[in-house]
């Protein structure tokens, strides 16, 4: 949870660095392929397999966002 909160707080800083733009900047073609692959995986895998990890992590992100908003 601490690492997730650190990632939320440091995300803006990482996006502004040159190496952050190189690592996390995807071209339109690469992003399109990621959406296609995710769509295929979402149509093949069972719903419980896809929703459980995402709901678990999104809870921590929501709590971290609310906490950060209250602290600022």
Report yes or no: 68 and 9 within 8 Å, Cβ to Cβ: yes
Work out the average pLDDT over 31-51: 86
Distance from CA of residue 13 to its chain's centroid? 16
Of the two residues 40 and 69, the one the predictor is more confident about is: 40
| pLDDT at residue 40, as a whole number | 93
| pLDDT at residue 35, as a whole number | 92
| pLDDT at residue 55, as a whole number | 64
Work out the average pLDDT over 50-55: 66
Dihedral sign computed on CA atoms, order 63, 3, 69, 51: negative
């Amino acid at each position: 949870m601490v690492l997730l909160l650190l990632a939320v707080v440091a995300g803006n800083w990482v996006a502004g660095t040159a190496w952050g733009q190189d690592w996390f900047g995807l071209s339109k073609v690469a992003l399109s392929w990621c959406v296609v692959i995710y769509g295929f995986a979402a149509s093949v895998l069972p719903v419980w397999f896809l929703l459980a990890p995402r709901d678990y992590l999104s809870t921590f992100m929501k709590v971290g966002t609310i906490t950060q908003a209250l602290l600022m």
